[in-house]
């Protein structure tokens, strides 16, 4: 059933995995203008107590990280703030700050996005170090509604959370009384869940009733957010309290302190006690963010240095912190560029685990000192299938001007744990070492960021072939850009919340990114997960992701069969539609193609460079990506296809896009761009084929 598509190239193997990173000129990535929200009386009182105890001194440090959802998938478009600075995650969930002043003991990083609970991480930075942070955002889940004037009892998470609201207990964020309906979201954070330390806010450190800091062991948390019908945040009115009921673990004590999370300082504040009754705890909440059932623990502070032997620090290594005996997972941290991390308010009885290539190397810190050097013997690393790998070279701009004394990071696109960080010297030379798994990586792509000043960055994507244990790699930041930075883009979004750049070309407005939606316009899910046989037999709408790899969805969007394109429930957002063959011709004629060529087939518009004007000049394309200028702003990428027999091909070589127009009863017109020329192909293929989709505005 396969239709042979004429082509100027042979099918090649997929080269590595990619994430969507934009390569740009120097650009500001932080801004100081963040308007604080109204602070109610409860939080204001907490802030006064915390300001009197916690240090106000800051240290300069570099900060980057990734925002994930509960399933470990990247969250794009999340707002990330820290100590008066702000940035946004890219399509891979990645964010980076320039040099930023952080509280010397309790640095706070906050991530927000519509549809998710607020995520916060608290850590202890070191002056001048390069820190990595990871936050998992919980979805808000399904809301329940109560009338503010009447109150009511709500249950969430299968009865694990019960909230009893009194009448007239709700206020707006300005403190004014609110009398309308209240949408309530509540999520239970199970301390025994695998992802607990990822979604848990802050760190397990709190301020006691005696205004002393302590270490905490959690026995369960609840996160609560309230909104009006327009999505505006609400809170408890002054003096109002909500009765909260949470489950008690089998190991929970008979009586336990209750703690409220203070978002601005990133620590917990003791707010009463609760007694276990019939396997549950009850307590009164006088404000909402996250509440926690915790037992205080004796603690100390320790600066840990992780190194191989007595010479090489192990930088950017994941470290899992447990109570002694590995009974409770307390947090996950990453060593900084010097192989160090600081544990503040750490339990005196503590163990650490370093996951090296599937084998865990453990260290008991039951009797640690203030400055602990943890030696990981090379024998342990080799037994775990690991290799100490060093990369070095010179960093310059595209005009060969060196980057002097510039902080940099190199993040693996195949493996998020592959992270080189450091600082260049006066000559622009750099050198970094990490641990990688022997045989696990042959060729890889690396996302590179260099901080050319405290507030400016440059980024690029480079290919690295890992072999041996060392490599010299000079870097010149000449990788190209996905979008045309000389043009002005608009934006639109789909029913899933995906945000797309848009561009006006002639009289038409097009999406400048491939469609990623998984639902029709009416909210009905589009079927997916097809076997090859089911894909071939389909006569209704469906989609695939190239090679079933979510990273390809991030880069290229989804591949839809034609039945999804013409489904009456509509694939494109409101106000947009899948272009007809005629509308594709209009686009091509606007870019210089003659009307006669527009009616032709195969390699059209090559003399006018129509294909080059439509192609992004970016690393995702296989080289040489001939004639790519992206003059139009269309920003075409090579997402490949799924044949009608279910097989995949042509990623990085070609991009394919459906039209809504039938050539005959079995085949449909589509467009194709290739790395090997300036053409725009016009062909037809089976309805069961999977192609990318671009929407055009009505």
Sketch the domain layout of the chain as residue ranges.
Answer: 54-137, 144-195+209-297, 299-383, 386-472, 490-697
Position 178 scores a pLDDT of: 94
The domains spanning 144-195+209-297 and 299-383 adopt the same CATH topology: no
Give CA 666 to chain center in angstroms.
41
Query: What is the predicted pLDDT for the residue at 8?
Result: 31
pLDDT of 1 reads 30
Yes or no: say if 234 and 225 are a contact pair by the CB < 8 Å rule. Answer: no
Residues lower than pLDDT 70 in the chain: 1-39, 308-311, 324-326, 347-350, 354-385, 398-399, 413-417, 437-445, 453-456, 461-465, 467, 478-481, 619
Q: Which helix (H) or strand (E) holds 15?
A: none
Alpha carbons 339 and 554: distance in angstroms, whole number: 31
The burial of 127, by beta-carbon neighbours within 10 Å (0-12 exposed, 13-18 middle, 19 or more buried), is given as exposed
**Architecture per CATH, 144-195+209-297:** Sandwich (2.60)
Burial 448-464 (b: 16+ CB within 10 A, else e): bbbbbeebbbbbbbbeb
Res 34: pLDDT: 35
The pLDDT assigned to 480 comes to: 61
CATH fold, domain 54-137, is Immunoglobulin-like (2.60.40)
CATH top-level class of 299-383: mainly beta
Give the whole-angstrom CA distance, residue 298 versus residue 399. 57
What 3-state DSSP class applies to 44? helix
Residue 426: what pLDDT?
93
pTM score of the predicted model: 0.63
Nearest to 294 by CA among 207, 165, 185, 198: 207
CATH number 2.60.40 given to 386-472: yes
How high is the pLDDT of residue 349? 65
Q: What is the pLDDT of residue 388?
A: 75
**Could you please report the per-residue DSSP string of 370-417?**
SEEEEEE-HHHHHHTTEEEEEEEEEBB-TTS-B-TT-EEEEEESS-TT
- Cα(629)–Cα(691) distance, rounded to whole angstroms? 23
């Amino acid at each position: 059933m396969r239709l042979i598509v004429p082509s100027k190239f042979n099918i090649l193997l997929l080269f590595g995995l990619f994430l969507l990173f934009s390569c740009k000129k120097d650009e500001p990535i932080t801004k100081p203008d963040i308007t604080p929200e109204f602070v109610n009386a409860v939080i204001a009182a907490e802030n006064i107590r915390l300001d009197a105890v916690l240090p106000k001194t800051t240290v300069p440090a570099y900060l980057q990280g990734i925002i994930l959802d509960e399933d470990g998938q990247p969250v794009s478009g999340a707002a990330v703030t820290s100590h008066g600075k702000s940035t946004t995650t890219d399509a891979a969930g990645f964010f980076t700050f320039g040099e930023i002043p952080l509280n010397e003991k309790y640095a706070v990083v906050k991530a927000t996005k519509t549809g998710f609970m607020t995520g916060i991480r608290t850590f202890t930075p070191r002056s001048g170090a390069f820190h990595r942070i990871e936050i998992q955002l919980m979805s808000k889940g399904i809301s329940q509604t109560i009338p503010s004037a009447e109150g009511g009892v709500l249950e969430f998470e299968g009865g694990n959370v019960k909230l009893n609201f009194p009448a007239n207990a709700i206020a707006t964020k300005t403190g004014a009384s609110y009398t309308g309906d209240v949408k309530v979201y509540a999520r239970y954070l199970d301390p025994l869940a695998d992802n607990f330390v990822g979604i848990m806010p802050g760190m397990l450190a709190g301020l006691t009733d005696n205004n002393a800091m302590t270490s905490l062991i959690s026995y369960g948390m609840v996160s609560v957010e309230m909104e009006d019908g327009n999505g505006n945040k609400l809170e408890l009115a002054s003096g109002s309290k909500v009765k909260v009921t949470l489950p008690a673990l089998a190991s929970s004590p008979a009586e336990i302190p209750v703690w409220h999370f203070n978002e601005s300082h990133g620590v917990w504040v003791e707010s009463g006690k609760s007694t276990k009754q019939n396997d549950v705890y009850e307590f009164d909440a006088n404000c909402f963010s996250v509440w926690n059932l915790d037992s205080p623990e004796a603690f100390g502070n320790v600066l840990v240095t992780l190194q191989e032997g007595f010479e090489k620090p192990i930088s950017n290594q994941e470290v899992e912190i447990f109570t002694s005996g590995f009974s409770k997972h307390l947090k996950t941290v990453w060593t900084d560029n010097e192989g160090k991390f600081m544990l503040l308010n750490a339990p005196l009885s503590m163990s650490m685990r370093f996951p090296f290539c599937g084998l865990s190397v453990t260290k008991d810190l039951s009797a640690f000192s203030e400055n602990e050097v943890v030696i990981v013997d090379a024998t342990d690393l080799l037994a775990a299938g690991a290799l100490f790998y060093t990369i070095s070279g010179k960093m310059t701009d595209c005009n060969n001007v060196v980057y002097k004394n510039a902080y940099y990071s190199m993040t693996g696109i195949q493996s998020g744990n592959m992270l080189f960080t450091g600082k260049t010297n006066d000559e622009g030379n750099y050198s970094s070492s990490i641990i990688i798994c022997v045989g696990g990586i042959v060729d890889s792509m690396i996302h590179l960021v260099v901080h050319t000043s405290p507030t400016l960055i440059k980024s690029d994507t480079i290919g690295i072939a890992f072999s041996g244990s060392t490599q010299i790699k000079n870097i010149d930041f000449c990788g190209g850009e996905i979008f045309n930075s000389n043009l002005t883009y608009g934006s639109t979004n789909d029913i899933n919340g995906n945000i797309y750049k848009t561009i006006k070309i002639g009289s038409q407005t097009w999406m400048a990114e491939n469609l990623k939606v998984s639902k029709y316009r009416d909210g009905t899910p589009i079927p997916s997960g097809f076997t090859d046989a089911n894909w071939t037999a389909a006569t209704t709408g469906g989609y695939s992701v190239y090679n079933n790899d979510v990273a390809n969805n991030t880069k290229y969007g989804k591949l839809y069969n034609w039945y999804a394109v013409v489904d009456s429930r509509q694939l494109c957002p409101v106000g947009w539609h899948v272009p007809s063959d005629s509308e594709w011709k209009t686009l091509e004629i606007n870019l210089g193609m003659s009307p006669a060529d527009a009616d032709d087939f195969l390699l059209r518009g090559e003399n006018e460079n129509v294909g080059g004007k439509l192609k992004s000049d970016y690393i995702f394309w296989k080289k040489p990506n001939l004639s790519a200028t992206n003059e139009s702003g269309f920003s075409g990428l090579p997402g490949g296809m799924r044949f009608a027999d279910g097989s995949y091909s042509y990623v990085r070589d070609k991009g394919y896009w459906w039209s809504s127009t039938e050539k005959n009863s079995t085949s449909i017109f589509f467009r194709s761009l290739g790395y090997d020329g300036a053409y725009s192909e016009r062909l037809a293929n089976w309805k069961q084929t999977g192609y990318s989709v671009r929407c055009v505005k009505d």
